Amino acid sequence: MSSEHAEEISQPPVSEPQRNQGELAQNGSAIQPATVLVRGETVSNQASKSPSPANAQRTPTPKKISDAKAKLQSRLPSLDDHDDIGIQKEQIVVRDGKADLAFIGTLLASAAPSGATKGHWEELRVYQTSAGKHVFSKINRTVFADEHDQCKAEIFDPAPSSTTAQLLRSAHDLTHAKPKTWKDAAVDFFGYEPLAKELYRKLGDQFEERVS
């Protein structure tokens, strides 16, 4: 065998250089989408799907308004029994968790705000019974049909008959310079909020603190 023939056999065949993706793209060859495995999930470079309408945030349903309560709200700051002030008649005062109060008496004064904040407002009333007792009423009104009004009421008896009431009155009188009056009881019940002060002004100047 000649040396020239041996050299031809020993030379390895020349392979065609591998083309990169850029060259394949220029030549019109299709490029497969890349797929990456992230924490056991397959993530593709395809466009993500838009959220379905079912997953979109829902708008809360408006609360149903009571027609009767809306009528009361429209009269603020006047109340439905404003014309009964100073008239002696049969009164019924509603209170939660206890029996309602029924008596013959007079509505001395009432107070309410000029409007309802977020559909809620307070109503304050003071009554005097024919026997000389005082009844204090506070109602938290709501204009919504699926919500209930909150009603509180207390009675002030200047001469309590029950032993418990007499003991409580005696304890108060021992720690104060003067016996407890219905005005003191009103302040204990209503406090000194702006609406309560408006109620006191309607009842007279006896709620003011005199300074010499």
Q: What is the pLDDT, as a whole number, of residue 9? A: 46
Report whether pLDDT(148) > 80.
yes
Q: How far apart are CA 133 and CA 131, in angstroms?
A: 6
pLDDT bracket for residue 122 (50, 70, 90):
very high
Where are the domains positioned within the chain?
67-205
Global pTM exceeds 0.85: no
Q: What is the pLDDT, as a whole number, of residue 142? A: 96
Report whether pLDDT(93) > 90.
yes
Report whether pLDDT(96) > 50.
yes
Q: What is the pLDDT, as a whole number, of residue 24? A: 45
**Residue 55 in 3-state DSSP?**
helix
- Mean pLDDT for the stretch of residues 24-46: 53
**Residue 121 in 3-state DSSP?**
strand
Q: What is the pLDDT, as a whole number, of residue 139? A: 98
pLDDT digits (tens, 9 = 90+) for 184-203: 999 999 999 999 999 999 99
Q: What is the pLDDT, as a whole number, of residue 62? A: 86
Of 146 and 23, the one with more pLDDT: 146
Report whether pLDDT(157) > 70.
yes
Question: How far is CA 21 from each of CA 14, 36, 71, 124, 173, rounded to the nearest angstrom?
Answer: 22, 18, 76, 83, 99
- Residue 192's Cβ-count burial label (10 Å; 0-12, 13-18, 19+) is exposed
Of 47 and 86, the one with more pLDDT: 86
Q: How far apart are CA 182 and CA 188, in angstroms?
A: 10
- Mean pLDDT for the stretch of residues 93-118: 96
Q: What is the pLDDT, as a whole number, of residue 28? A: 52
